[in-house]
Amino acid sequence: MANPSILILAGDGIGPEVMAEVKKIIGWFGDKRGITFDVSEDLVGGCAYDKHGTPLHDDTMAKAQAVDAVLLGAVGGPKYDVLDFSVKPERGLLRLRKEMDLFSNLRPAQCFDALADFSSLKKDVVAGLDIVIVRELTSGVYFGEPRGIFTEGNERVGINTQRYTESEIARVARSAFELARRRNNKVCSMEKANVMESGILWREVVQEIHDKEYPDVQLSHMYADAGAMQLCRWPKQFDVILTDNLFGDLLSDMAAMLTGSLGMLPSASLGAPMANGRPKALYEPVHGSAPDIAGQGKANPIACILSFAMALRYSFDLGDEATRVEKAVEKVLADGVRTGDLMGPEGGTPVSTAAMGDAVIAAL
């Protein structure tokens, strides 16, 4: 049987640095555990634009469609701010999401014990926090047509369209309910049904899928503004939050920041099952390309390493190996090993990106 395949798209900014540490860990799995991956690499984002004039070359797109899992670093940087919308680094990422049909984006917001003091929130509000935001990732205002900047009379008008079909809502709702069953069995769905008809349809379909297929899961609905408030006030009230592409963008970033563990948070974007029964999948850290610290060996590779752990669990059925990686990360943190972003008043051992990766490997 062929080895499982991985396409690495390290991208821009700190992407290549943090991905270098993941490659070490992939190597460790081959050497020490006899689990070998076929790894290929390619470009996405600004670096792809620099080489090909497009943030995602068609060949790269084809490779991404063919592998078992894509690992992505980060895209974007100030250098590319001047580019036209259609070739901005982000378009590469959005094309991957759309064409691979990765409709379910799982974004854990988890507070690591060793880091609870880093949150701007009070320790008791975030300590032990462990929630997941399930964000719809292939539709909504990110992709709806018509869109663009038009001229009407003597002025410009900017237009985007929020658009959700019943089946788009249903499939991401199912993935949230499935996840909730493996966790604390609670889903809170967020929209603006008091203002937007697309939110009304969202609420109705989520409720229908729940009543027909997942009546055992506890379901509640909240307006997204109230949801943002409640996430700030007492995030532990949630287990799984289900929401659309745009609200999910804001709410998941916010939730990640709440934990104080931004440099630690992975994400998985999952699509429909492939022939082998596993979902199409892309894994990436929640943090961005952090151009301000790129190339300096300062970046924290843990979010990217934990994204690989998610790949082990969701794409390769290697849940135990995933846990092994997660436990190694916990040990390293407990030992006080710290990249710059994790240095707090109580100190610790300051390390570079590479040394952090080495520490995780040592702990494995």
Ligand X SMILES: CC(C)[C@H](C(=O)O)[C@@H](O)C(=O)O
Q: Determine if 233 is a binding residue for a second copy (CB under 8 A).
A: yes
Q: Which of 192, 280, 283, 314 is catalytic?
A: 192
* CB closest to ligand X, residue no: 90
Q: Which of 239, 253, 280, 283 is catalytic?
A: 253
Q: How many residues touch a second copy (CB under 8 A)?
A: 61
Letter string b/e over residues 194-214, b meaning 16 or more CB atoms within 10 A of that residue's CB:
eeeebbebbbebbeebbeeeb
* One character per residue 230-269, x = contact with ligand X (rule: CB under 6 A): -------------------x--------------------
Q: What are 338's strand-pairing partners? A: 350
Tell me if residue 314 is catalytic: no
CB of 245 to ligand X, least distance (A): 7
Q: How many C-beta neighbours within 10 Å does residue 59 have?
A: 10
Q: Determine if 195 is a binding residue for ligand X (CB under 6 A).
A: yes
Of 104, 89, 127, 146, which is closest to residue 248 (Cα–Cα)? 104
Q: Determine if 78 is a binding residue for a second copy (CB under 8 A).
A: no
Tell me if residue 249 is catalytic: yes
Q: Looking at residue 344, what DSSP letter applies? A: B
Tell me if residue 186 is catalytic: no
Q: Determine if 276 is a binding residue for ligand X (CB under 6 A).
A: no
Q: Which of residues 193-232 bind a second copy (CB under 8 A)?
A: 194-202, 205, 224-226, 228-229, 231-232
The identity of residue 140, as a single letter, is G
Check the CA dihedral 103-268-285-99 and report its sign. negative
276 belongs to an annotated ligand binding site: no
Q: Which of residues 97-136 bind ligand X (CB under 6 A)?
A: none
Strand ranges (E), 64-114: 69-74, 104-110
Tokens coding 362: 């040592």
Of 3, 103, 9, which is closest to residue 64 (Cα–Cα)? 9
Q: Are strands 144-152 and 240-243 parallel, antiparallel or unpaired?
A: unpaired
211 belongs to an annotated ligand binding site: no
Residue placing its CB nearer to ligand X in the complex, 62 or 195 = 195
Tell me if residue 253 is catalytic: yes
Q: Determine if 90 is a binding residue for ligand X (CB under 6 A).
A: yes
| Residue 158 binding partner per list a second copy, ligand X, none, with a CB distance cut-off of 5 to 8 Å that depends on partner kind | a second copy
What is the C-alpha separation between 23 and 120, in angstroms, rounded? 33
Given the rule CB under 6 A, which residues bind ligand X? 90, 93-94, 194-195, 225, 249
